[in-house]
Structure 1
């Protein structure tokens, strides 16, 4: 088993703390002396050891500022994780892809309801008349009619239902949108991301495809019993899950949303309006079904949880040996970003979410079920 000794735990607690003067956007006046965060700095390494999780990176937003960021543990078997370690975002890349589209739409370069077939038709569906119906809105609300991945339909992309009929989570849909944007605008998706999001939000440690500056910085996926894997290559922009980033960079992205940066008021409002209510689906899948609110479902790229006392915006991510979470409250301007390179990462991430005050209903819906 992958174990961390008490001595190493203490070392990680010391080394994992980011120097607030170099925290790349984190508030320097709050958090370091806050008892809540001091306690977390002691608890997180213990939780990691209990769950055999190699590393955790976390950033907390309060009152519209990054107030605390830390990184704990191991980037790989021989390297300590630091604030420059890059994590594969998994599915929390999807809201970022949505944001890129909304910024381009605000600039008048694309339209939410335009048929994508005029610029991109996947060869697998070019003879299906339903391909002519697909729009970016279908993608961002997960109503394309595709399965999550084409490997689930014999390696061939095909419609399971007409676009716009019902919600069906689909990474293939996000990739379809990426190809549409590249074809229509004539530039790579990573270039578009740099132009409209990464540079404006000062996200200097983020990219949608492999970069030379990744060298020596990638968190390696990890499974219990000391099984490390080489990081997954992302040779071509992968909008459904290929973002490599830090929690500080991702928190900057969330702050840009909460500040209304570079997206029209109408589109920003629509972004957080539930397209199709998914309460029944929640009741079937939630860890604590009674926590499901009367209204929840996808807006444009984000999942919206309309609890009676507050509305929470969030997205989870899971890949082989990697777990991620992004959740925020735009009204209170608070939020949490957490990333782990361990397959048991969620066992720690949701303890952190509770400790920093994320809405309990969200936690009860999304937290992993207890092991039997």
Structure 2
């Protein structure tokens, strides 16, 4: 039980003549065991999960804008239309070139077939005349004429084969031009690469858009899920790394406005270096943010739970005082006198402090009236108004 005391009553007791020093009225509380979460607190900033600057991959007049500024869009939604006429014409030209190349290829193949047939006949004539020359039936000059004709047709066949290879290469080049023209034509329709929220429209209808220009048409932020980025001192890095092994640490982000609404997330990224200028390491937590509570650029109070201290000794925060030698607490002994204990404190939670050393479970500590105490002073627990709230 916690009791209250008045300074006025204390002063009246002190002025009484004779007898032992009067007992000092104080409020007290019992130390107790609790399971205390160990938290790291910081100020963080909300960042989009991903950001895309939407630009055009082709040049031309901007014909249509098919979304409202500041609206939600889904991946694949049509956002802009660029004038497609010049790209349709380029596609038709490329398709015409392909048809021309196909015709040239067929012509080259027909020439090859004709010359191969002629070569076969010329080879047969040359073979017959070779036998006739051996039998002295025809002259050598007649044989040479047929052999030369066969050799010429053989070279024609080689030329036809080269023409076919050239036609096939040209055909492949023009087919690639068709695919490129189709791709350029598809770029005239600019679609959202992700689901998110659009910002302000940066280029209006009627403007000439450059291919991959310096200015984006619109910026899209993905805000569900969303990141909260925050830094922690390098002294806490080892504790964060140990606690995050095999699990994702819970993180709470609380708004800094009057409502103090909060969102729950998980630690997702530990930066790969410590900032030498600030001595901190950057962390990122991811939040589902289905209710859009968190907004890019907003500052939030971050609390990350590393674990839980089981059976921790806790006392009210007001029981811990600061002196020249450090932190101390007045402990009420069974004879109703006080003992000054130097203590080492741990984390704070819900108005209470963890006492790592100096206090045991179940001991009575003074929570108000410490200014009138010294080691060995007699005290009495008093209910009522706290010290300083009532006059003499």
TM-score (norm 2): 0.18
User: Which has more helix, going by share of residues?
Assistant: 1
Bigger relative contact order, structure 1 or 2 (CA pairs below 8 A, ≥6 apart): 2
Whose radius of gyration is greater, 1 or 2?
2
User: Which has more strand, going by share of residues?
Assistant: 2
